[in-house]
Structure 1
Amino acid sequence: MDFDYAHYMLMEARKGKENPVASSPAKEANRKQLAEALNLNRSRILAFKNKPPIPAESLLPETASVQQAKPTKPRRSIPQTSERTLDAPEIIDDYYLNLLDWGSSNVLKQQWSASGQQLASGGNDNLLHIWDRSVASSNSPTQWLHRLEDHTAAVKALAWCPFQANLLASGGGGGDRCIKFWNTHTGACLNSVDAGSQVCSLLWNKNERQLLSSHGFTQNQLTLWKYPSMVKIAELTGHTSRVLYMAQSPDGCTVASAAGDETLRFWNVFGTPELVKPATKANPEPFAHFNRIR
């Protein structure tokens, strides 16, 4: 800023107000032309307001990179083919049986919650019952906690959510084709999604908010869903008959599926869980790396 010129303009403006002199239009026009020719049109000396924000497109590359959002987690690649296929001769092709499990226990149409307090059971009568240990052991005339009648076909697929208490997913047969989510504390249906075909089995991802479902006719596929939006992430095909059974490996990464085509397929659908880094020791002892003198 030219402080000398600013002082001159302020003083001249004050003098002009004290001693006004009438000037002709010709003199005024001549004064303006002379000011423009000599670059004297600097009457706007101070701006008593904040500057407008800098447009985003005018940012320098190094400045723009700093203001970018936090980098998103890279999308995991899901193999579209099974890792291994085993023959399962004469496997029973029955929707109402469950012949596959990863461990020693065999879950049919009943499944305990992680807390062991509630039991879910689905039947051929299209009913889903929620049982509570405290109610079942009492003298209550009903003994079940909730009797849910929303499904319109047999309820074979059941899966308790591992990361949210009192959340249960259930799947219906060919006349229903829906995956429903329940609050087992209140008995309310939280959401219902049309899966497009018979829902044979359900598995939650232990590492991320995802749900895997297996299906029958027409595609006999496994479908991976993102919860709670229920957007399809992937569809895995390979079985030529309805995928009746699924079991999850102990590490939660691999899923084994069995179908009426007498094959077992292993899918790396849930990926490898992230390794937790050991916590560093807080306030380590100073000079610990030096040999001590006794």
Structure 2
Amino acid sequence: RILDAPELVDDYYLNLVSWGENNVLAVALGQCVYLWEAATGNIRHLLTLQHDDDFVTSVSWVRDKANANYIAIGTNLNAVQLWDAEAERRLRTLDGHSARVGALSWNQHWLSSGGRDSQIIQHDVRSRNHIVSTYVGHTQEVCGLRWNDEGSTLASGGNENLLCLWDASMSRRGNGYNRSE
């Protein structure tokens, strides 16, 4: 099956698709996010960002069947939005980055966001004061994030060709690797 994707931003460093536990594919197209339901083939419009110079830079479904309707959206204007896709309603906005947010990864109620500002921010989405910690180890844009299945280690990739492994229990980097090692 081929899905049409007009306005898919041509930028290797962005993460514009995410397949959820609910068997729904989220696709970011310019300022919009669409949801494709694999079981039915239905397509729903979830959101359109309001600022003309903003666009979606990352999407990530929560990896938890009990909360499978929640999705995080990273934007070009430095924000992370949390949405309830079932209700088609924004729940909150998480600030903290000073540049676009191109990478997101869930670990239960924690959401990690990586940005062009070279930071990784650990958010507790249940808390009003949501920033739990900030991981500093990259010198360029954070392009990829992924928690291991146990939730004990976060892997991050940066534009400077550095792969970092972060120990969740210590909020610090465990090991870093680059092309020359």
**TM-score with structure 1 setting the length:** 0.48
**Bigger share in strand:** 2
What is the match of residue 124 of structure 2?
226
Deviates more, 1:181-190 or 1:151-160: 151-160
What is the match of residue 4 of structure 2?
none
Mapped to 2, the partners of 1:134 and 1:250 lie a distance apart of: 25
Mapped to 2, the partners of 1:155 and 1:267 lie a distance apart of: 26
Q: Give a deviation string over 1:68-108, Cα, whole Å, max 9, x none.
A: xxxxxxxxxxxxxxxxxxxxxxxxxxx82259xxxxxxxx5
**Bigger share in helix:** 1
Instruction: Please tell me whether the aligned partners of residues 22 and 69 of structure 2 are also in contact (alpha carbons under 8 angstroms).
Output: no
Per-residue deviation, 1:157: 1.8
What is the match of residue 201 of structure 1?
103
Mapped to 1, the partners of 2:136 and 2:112 lie a distance apart of: 13
Mapped to 1, the partners of 2:132 and 2:44 lie a distance apart of: 34
> Which 5+ residue runs of structure 2 have no aligned equivalent?
1-9, 171-181
CA RMSD, aligned part only? 2.2
Equivalent residue in structure 2 for 1:266, among 160, 165, 170: 165
Identify if the C-alpha distance between structure 1 residues 264 and 151 changes in structure 2 by more than 3 Å, giving closer, same or farther: farther
Equivalent residue in structure 1 for 2:21, among 109, 114, 117: 114
Secondary structure, aligned partner of 1:156: strand
Q: Which has the higher contact order (CA 8 A, sep 6+)?
A: 1
Which protein shows a greater Rg? 1
Identical aligned pairs, as a percentage?
23
> Which 5+ residue runs of structure 1 have no aligned equivalent?
1-94, 100-107, 137-142, 272-294
Identify if the C-alpha distance between structure 1 residues 112 and 270 changes in structure 2 by more than 3 Å, giving closer, same or farther: farther
Give the counterpart letter for 1:113 in structure 2: G
4+ runs deviating over 6 angstroms: none
Per-residue deviation, 1:135: 4.6
Instruction: Please tell me whether the aligned partners of residues 135 and 145 of structure 1 are also in contact (alpha carbons under 8 angstroms).
Output: no
Give the counterpart letter for 2:107 in structure 1: N
Aligned length: 155
Per-residue deviation, 1:155: 1.7
Per-residue deviation, 1:201: 0.9
